Structure 1
Amino acid sequence: MTEFRLGVRDIVARVLEQRLPELQGRVYRAREWPLHEHQVPALLVYGYQETKTGPEVHGGDVVYAVSCIMSVQAVTQRAARHTEAVERELEQLCQAICLAVITAPELLGKAGAIERIDSVKTTLNIDAKSGEKALGQAVVAFDLCWSETYQLPDEIPCAETTFHFRVIPPA
């Protein structure tokens, strides 16, 4: 359900704003955001690549296992091409992002929105080619998992069952 994924994204963004006070007002809920120099460092939170597997049928309910990659992109920049400083800042940001999300009771636990986090992948990228500034970007991707249950209708109206065979030509 798209609404559920959006709700999970909002929880992740809220957790990051609460647990990383130095980035309050700089956590955005979009994959692409036009960031200006005075807005950096910043975090962009987005979800993509949702997969539903199953289904498992239990009585009148159909249950799908859902996994969704929720990503947090960290963007930072330093003057004078200090790539080591950018790398250090990105590493600290990634560690703080990971710790904030994987320990958030709003997301996991008894009252949490999801069932588990299967994996966390971090990718760092530093671009110092542009001249005066070193631009750093990191993506922390969380593989979030939950179940979705749908109720089957009591009666499924259908006409008489017929089978049709179709000829499949040889390859």
Structure 2
Amino acid sequence: MSSTPGSGDSALPGYKPPHRTLTDSSYYSFNGNTWDGNPNSPSYAKAAELRAQQGSAPRHQQAPYPSYFRNGEGLPLSTPGSKIRPGRGNEWLHHPLTPGRTTAWTPQSGVARGAVRSVFTNGAPTQFDVMYHDRGAGTSVRGHGQFVMANYHAAVPSPLPPPQQQQQQQQQQQQQQKQQKQ
């Protein structure tokens, strides 16, 4: 017998694979910080929602977002950045992300910007990292929290039912197929 969670075999009768309290989908967490400073707001966002928002975000700089990001914090970004403005080093663009939504933030959306941002190379918004303002990491010149990388959590695979339950399901399917043929 295997005791590996999600392997299909259970180590003990009644074994249940681990279940996360946030979501079984992939998500980003913000180290206990909420996205908008409200203690009742979530401290995580589903990755699918953020990808959907980013897919409809503007591709190039415009006021007020996406705006320039120079990575003064030295974050380990997965994208290379690019030379956007003359006389500057590599820069990125960043854009607000809002947990619980699938459309990009705009000034007209009536939703607060919150602390969460995507950061991407100019012209390539589908390849992005997620970061957020964290006052615990220090404050920026503008008085916001320093940017910190959000933590990505992969989806939890659906567990296979125990072998006995699999056999019962197969038998039920076979009976249904026989009935359909009759």
Q: Which has the higher strand share?
A: 1
Q: TM-score, normalised by structure 1?
A: 0.26
Q: TM-score, normalised by structure 2?
A: 0.25
